[in-house]
A and B are shown apart, each in its own frame.
Chain A
Amino acid sequence: MSLDEYTRREFKQVGTRVRRPDGVDKVTGRALYGADATAPGMLVGRILRSPHPHARIVAIDTSAAGALKGVKAVITGADLPVQEDNFIRDVQDNCMARDKALYDGHAVAAVAAVDAATAKAALKLIKVTYEILPHVTDVDIAVKPGAPVVLAGRTLENVPAGMSENVTSHCEFGHGDPEAGFARADHIVERSFRTAATHQGYIEPHAALASVTSDGKAELWCCTQGQFFVRTLCAAIMEMEASQLRVTASEIGGGFGGKTTVFIEPVALALSRKAGRPVKIVMTRDEVFRATGPTVHTSMDIRIGMTKDGTITAADAHLRYSGGAFPCGTVDMGAQAAFAAYDLEHVRTYGWNVLTNRPKEAAYRAPGAPQAIYAVESVIDELCQHFGLDPIEVRLKNAARKGTKSSYGPTFSDIGLVATLEAAKQHPHYCAPLAPGQGRGISCGFWFNFGGNTCVSLNVNTDGTVGITEGNPDIGGSRASISLMAAEELGIPYDRVRTIVADTSALGYNDVTDGSRVTFAVGLATIKAARDAVKKMCARAAKIWGIDEEAVEWKDGAAVPAGPNAGKFPPMALAEIAAVSFETGGPIAGHHEVNVDGAGVSFGVHIVDVEVDRETGATKVLRYTVFQDAGKAVHPSYVEGQMQGGAVQGIGWALNEEYIYGADGRLQNPGFLDYRVPVASDLPAIDTVILEIPNPGHPYGVRGVGETGIVPPLAALSNAVSRSAGIRLAELPMSPPRVLAALDG
């Protein structure tokens, strides 16, 4: 059972702010990112992309491109296999269109040439004959009967009749009888909201180097959050056996969920196979925006009833999410997360996934939750304003606790929401005075967190150091955290442990770095691999001492006799046991393989102060504090970094970031100039308060912390703007023109 892993203990190293193992390489430029990979004879791969949002590909003539001197391979969708499985087919068709181009930027052909100039010239020689089709890029239009159909035949049986064929799936969660609950409310607020699609905005563009040999083996180096999943997808697309394709993940310059699938990797492999030489593809920023995976854009209706003392009597939500041109399940997560922070008797959420002519969405920190929770927390705030109630008190009054049956089904075990709200209430920020024209907003946030398939090896070296091999790219400090947990468990100093991220040939399968799973799940497997090694080291000591294995225990980094009856031997440290291991049975290693359950859910509360310039609509963020339950903060600096990073990305989402499509269906702002992530001067220092309510599902009580932080900022900002400017916006981003228009009524 996964909920009895935790044992209370005093930590010696976990919880300290040790040196980052990757810091020196990153600040000196030595770290090897995706685009740094090279191979002898390497070709440059470039991709031709559709300028049309929706068009039938009538013909592609690659003959002139193929004949150009220096061009070694040209491929189109016809070079890839016909896939039976819907999921794999969607991934493949997103990497290279087959019959239809489904969005502006959709790949339609690719070349590999001896240099970039030749590759660019070759792209211009490819003649694509398009039959332009009507397009739809807005979820509210796409959902209506009669809208242009993006992909036919993908609607699941549970979608009610009468909707557009773009509606591919429906979900419903909740319990009780909402109508009965609404009848008991003193006031009901019902509002509709819209949120724009946003991009993760990772600084490193996607890059891949593929080398396929003539005997069918392949190497792939790429920038990814999950080398094993890349192998699964690419092996299916290339029709290869997993053992023949080795994938190595590079150092990663940001992912945030956006690097959990493939875009260019199968294209590089297919080009390499055809050319017989290594092929590298590096995306431009323009390609990253147009053809990787932004978030869903949404349209939502929220209804919440409350009594005048602040008790929520009922709530429901209708969510319409569009993740672009292919079906996705993100709305299911939004529908489950929407009311997770509340203990509700009557609650119901309904979700619909809708296809539009936009790029296929990818995960982005707590996928689906920020949008739904933005809408819910905005309505809660409006109810607080209506009754003149304190927004934290109302949330405390209705907060989910241990034993609450959640709005999505499971009953919560130990959770940290009440403690987090109490910490926010008592923090100096919450009672600090505001100047006229300033407004303060708060919001709760929630994320499920995830465990998953994990495999770790821990090798005890003869010099007394320890090497850990794990299979998840380090996107948030996991190497330091994993080393810390191993050092803690083994009782040796942190700097004696080094953790490396292995390629797909070195370990069993590891799920993608997602769901805030790595410090939790890989940490758990590391602790258990360390315990496995400890058991073996105790056995070696027993052998040396000539006593039973059961008579030896591990204490402070050394084997010791277990009690007076075991005999009198001085402690034998890890380094001593390791030094003589060749004489006592050979190398010592620990392993652990597991599909981890028991990821503890995580709650956060954010407080923000803003001031709206009533003449320009510009919002200045004055002060920001994040409160979040980390279970156990293994490396507090990294945990704070996650909390701050989530808040900053959420601030961008709330105020300025958006995918802007023109009437022509083309993306208007595929670059960081007009896709506005916050710059440092836009932001105050983001203060953090870490709560530690141990997760029963982890030996040290760890919960994932990577995602929850992006959930509250959207509503926190909207609620603060409402209280600063006296207007309530129901659409994100709250860009200055939109705020000024609202102020002008």
Chain B
Amino acid sequence: MRYLAARSAREAAEALSAETGVTRILAGGTDVLVQLKSGIVEPDLIVDIKRIPGIAEIVPEAGGFRIGAAVPNAVLGEHAGVVALWPGVVEGANLIGSTQVQGRCTMAGNLCNGSPAGDAVPGLVAANAIARLEGPTGTRECPVAEIPAGPGRTTLKKGEVITSILLPARPERAGDAYLRFIPRTEMDIAVASAAVSLELGTDGTVAAARVVLGAVAPTVVVVESAGAALIGSRLDDAVLARLAAACEAACNPIDDKRGTVAFRTRTAGVLARRAALIAYARAGGSK
């Protein structure tokens, strides 16, 4: 096993691209080290991206924020600007692991790990976040929503590295929220999760909505019909029931030690409903 601490995104992309064996990208390492320890993978090359200049920084951009791929989630959680603009994204990212893990883990890593239960991903997708990738043929931009491909898989091409994620600007009256269900209160993996991002019109009704579910399908699921159900409403009970029903209908979960199909489906609707209410309140909505 060889280890390379890349000094530029280009060096990282070229090294990964040239390697014929198994590779892993190391940012916080909170998934990679677990995989190494449990023997799931024995990489030939590990490329550490943390030392690439600027990759651990949060930079304002066009009214939003560009989050470097190596920004630890604990740092993200202490950034007042990001927390104010996208509180739901940050609360998802800050649920991963323990306090110690938070000091290392990153949103980009959570995204690239490919788990349908990743806590950072639904919020990013609901936020229409855009990832910037460095690859063998140069730099490209890709919506975060298009990166997950299935459990443990992404659409990233060989040699591609995410270098940052852009959380876009948003209007004044907007809010987002993320909730997950776990059988205990921390240090666990989502059995089902939901992120909701809302924008309100001048009359206080929902003008735009994006509802995203986690852990209920091979990838996160954008539930267009659930978002549509909220448009023009103040989230009255009938609307919330339609939202929950739409979410349940979009679920395609597995039955495993963490939860049954029926349980995951039921709780996905409940979480979406609760998250919508939190997002609505954050956007300044009142019922």
Taking Cβ atoms with an 8 Å cutoff, the residues of A that contact B are: 286, 615-618, 655-656, 660, 668-669, 673-674, 676, 678-679, 681-682, 735-737, 740-741
A673 to B185, CA, bound (A): 12
Q: When the two chains form their complex, are residues A679 and B187 in contact, meaning their CB atoms are under 8 A apart?
A: yes
Residue of A nearest to B266 (CB): A740
CB distance from B266 to the nearest CB of A (A): 7
Q: When the two chains form their complex, are residues B183 and A615 in contact, meaning their CB atoms are under 8 A apart?
A: no
- Find chain B residues with CB under 8 A from A668 CB: 256-257
Q: What are the 6 closest A-B residue pairs judged by CB atoms, nearest first?
A: A737-B263, A681-B185, A615-B270, A668-B257, A660-B257, A682-B184
- Indicate if B259 sits at the interface (CB-CB under 8 A): yes
A592 to B207, CA, bound (A): 83
Q: When the two chains form their complex, are residues A678 and B181 in contact, meaning their CB atoms are under 8 A apart?
A: no
- Indicate if B164 sits at the interface (CB-CB under 8 A): no
Query: When each residue 182-194 of chain B gets 1 if its CB lies under 8 Å from chain A and 0 otherwise, what string results?
Result: 0111111101000
CB distance from A229 to the nearest CB of B (A): 33
A505 to B35, CA, bound (A): 44
Q: Pick the residue among A615, A660, A676 that contacts B184 (CB under 8 A).
A: A676
Known A668-B257, A673-B189: A678·B266 in contact at CB below 8 Å:
no
Q: When the two chains form their complex, are residues B185 and A682 in contact, meaning their CB atoms are under 8 A apart?
A: yes
A656 to B183, CA, bound (A): 7
A93 to B189, CA, bound (A): 37
Q: When the two chains form their complex, are residues B184 and A679 in contact, meaning their CB atoms are under 8 A apart?
A: yes
Interface residues of B in 265-287 (CB under 8 A from A): 266-267, 270
CB distance from B43 to the nearest CB of A (A): 15
- Indicate if B59 sits at the interface (CB-CB under 8 A): no
Q: Pick the residue among A660, A669, A676, A737 that contacts B188 (CB under 8 A).
A: A676
Interface residues of B in 185-208 (CB under 8 A from A): 185-189, 191
- Find chain A residues with CB under 8 A from B270 CB: 615-616
A206 to B281, CA, bound (A): 51
Taking Cβ atoms with an 8 Å cutoff, the residues of B that contact A are: 38, 181, 183-189, 191, 256-260, 262-263, 266-267, 270
A669 to B259, CA, bound (A): 13
Q: When the two chains form their complex, are residues A681 and B257 in contact, meaning their CB atoms are under 8 A apart?
A: no
Number of A-B contacts (CB under 8 A): 50
Known A615-B270, A669-B257, A737-B260: A681·B183 in contact at CB below 8 Å:
no
Q: Pick the residue among A286, A682, A740 that contacts B263 (CB under 8 A).
A: A740
Known A660-B257, A674-B257, A737-B260: A616·B181 in contact at CB below 8 Å:
yes
Q: Pick the residue among B184, B256, B258, B260 that contacts A678 (CB under 8 A).
A: B184
- Find chain B residues with CB under 8 A from A286 CB: 38
9 interchain pairs, CB-CB under 8 A:
A673-B188, A673-B189, A676-B188, A681-B186, A682-B185, A736-B263, A737-B259, A740-B266, A740-B267
A499 to B32, CA, bound (A): 45
Residue of B nearest to A619 (CB): B183
A741 to B255, CA, bound (A): 14
Residue of B nearest to A662 (CB): B257
- Find chain B residues with CB under 8 A from A735 CB: 183
A618 to B188, CA, bound (A): 14
Q: When the two chains form their complex, are residues B185 and A679 in contact, meaning their CB atoms are under 8 A apart?
A: yes
Residue of B186, B257, B259 with most chain A CB atoms under a 10 A cut-off = B257
Q: When the two chains form their complex, are residues B263 and A617 in contact, meaning their CB atoms are under 8 A apart?
A: yes
CB distance from A646 to the nearest CB of B (A): 19
- Find chain B residues with CB under 8 A from A655 CB: 183
Q: When the two chains form their complex, are residues A736 and B181 in contact, meaning their CB atoms are under 8 A apart?
A: yes
CB distance from B177 to the nearest CB of A (A): 16
- Find chain A residues with CB under 8 A from B266 CB: 615-616, 740
A736 to B267, CA, bound (A): 10
CB distance from A529 to the nearest CB of B (A): 46
Residue of B183, B187, B256, B263 with most chain A CB atoms under a 10 A cut-off = B183
A737 to B260, CA, bound (A): 7
Residue of A678, A736, A741 with most chain B CB atoms under a 10 A cut-off = A736
- Find chain B residues with CB under 8 A from A678 CB: 184
Residue of A nearest to B184 (CB): A682
A679 to B183, CA, bound (A): 11
Inter-chain pairs besides A736-B181, A737-B263, A741-B260, 15 sampled, C-beta below 8 Å: A286-B38, A615-B267, A616-B270, A617-B263, A618-B183, A655-B183, A678-B184, A679-B186, A679-B187, A681-B184, A682-B184, A736-B183, A736-B191, A736-B263, A737-B259
A58 to B187, CA, bound (A): 43
A617 to B259, CA, bound (A): 12
Q: Pick the residue among B181, B184, B187 that contacts A656 (CB under 8 A).
A: B184
A618 to B270, CA, bound (A): 13
Known A618-B183, A679-B187, A682-B184: A674·B258 in contact at CB below 8 Å:
yes
CB distance from B45 to the nearest CB of A (A): 18
CB distance from A613 to the nearest CB of B (A): 9
A286 to B181, CA, bound (A): 25
A655 to B38, CA, bound (A): 28
A676 to B258, CA, bound (A): 11
A741 to B264, CA, bound (A): 12
- Find chain A residues with CB under 8 A from B257 CB: 660, 668-669, 674
Residue of A nearest to B267 (CB): A616
A618 to B266, CA, bound (A): 13
CB distance from A119 to the nearest CB of B (A): 13
CB distance from B147 to the nearest CB of A (A): 24
- Find chain B residues with CB under 8 A from A669 CB: 257
- Find chain B residues with CB under 8 A from A615 CB: 266-267, 270
Residue of A615, A618, A669, A682 with most chain B CB atoms under a 10 A cut-off = A615
A257 to B206, CA, bound (A): 58
Known A616-B267, A669-B257, A674-B257: A741·B185 in contact at CB below 8 Å:
no
- Find chain A residues with CB under 8 A from B184 CB: 656, 676, 678-679, 681-682
A71 to B189, CA, bound (A): 39
- Find chain A residues with CB under 8 A from B186 CB: 679, 681
A660 to B183, CA, bound (A): 15
Residue of B nearest to A661 (CB): B257
- Find chain B residues with CB under 8 A from A679 CB: 184-187
Residue of B nearest to A677 (CB): B184
- Find chain B residues with CB under 8 A from A736 CB: 181, 183, 191, 263
CB distance from A48 to the nearest CB of B (A): 14
A660 to B260, CA, bound (A): 13
CB distance from A287 to the nearest CB of B (A): 12
CB distance from A209 to the nearest CB of B (A): 22
A618 to B192, CA, bound (A): 13
- Find chain A residues with CB under 8 A from B256 CB: 668
- Find chain A residues with CB under 8 A from B38 CB: 286
- Find chain A residues with CB under 8 A from B263 CB: 617, 736-737, 740-741
Residue of B nearest to A658 (CB): B257
Residue of A nearest to B189 (CB): A673
A741 to B265, CA, bound (A): 12
Residue of A nearest to B263 (CB): A737
CB distance from B113 to the nearest CB of A (A): 14
- Find chain B residues with CB under 8 A from A682 CB: 184-185
Residue of A nearest to B244 (CB): A615
A740 to B270, CA, bound (A): 12
A740 to B262, CA, bound (A): 10
A660 to B258, CA, bound (A): 10
A616 to B181, CA, bound (A): 8
- Find chain A residues with CB under 8 A from B191 CB: 736
A673 to B38, CA, bound (A): 13
A679 to B38, CA, bound (A): 23
Q: When the two chains form their complex, are residues B181 and A618 in contact, meaning their CB atoms are under 8 A apart?
A: yes
- Find chain B residues with CB under 8 A from A741 CB: 260, 262-263
A741 to B270, CA, bound (A): 15
- Find chain B residues with CB under 8 A from A676 CB: 183-184, 188
- Find chain A residues with CB under 8 A from B260 CB: 737, 741
- Find chain B residues with CB under 8 A from A673 CB: 188-189
A682 to B187, CA, bound (A): 11
A286 to B40, CA, bound (A): 14
A737 to B256, CA, bound (A): 11
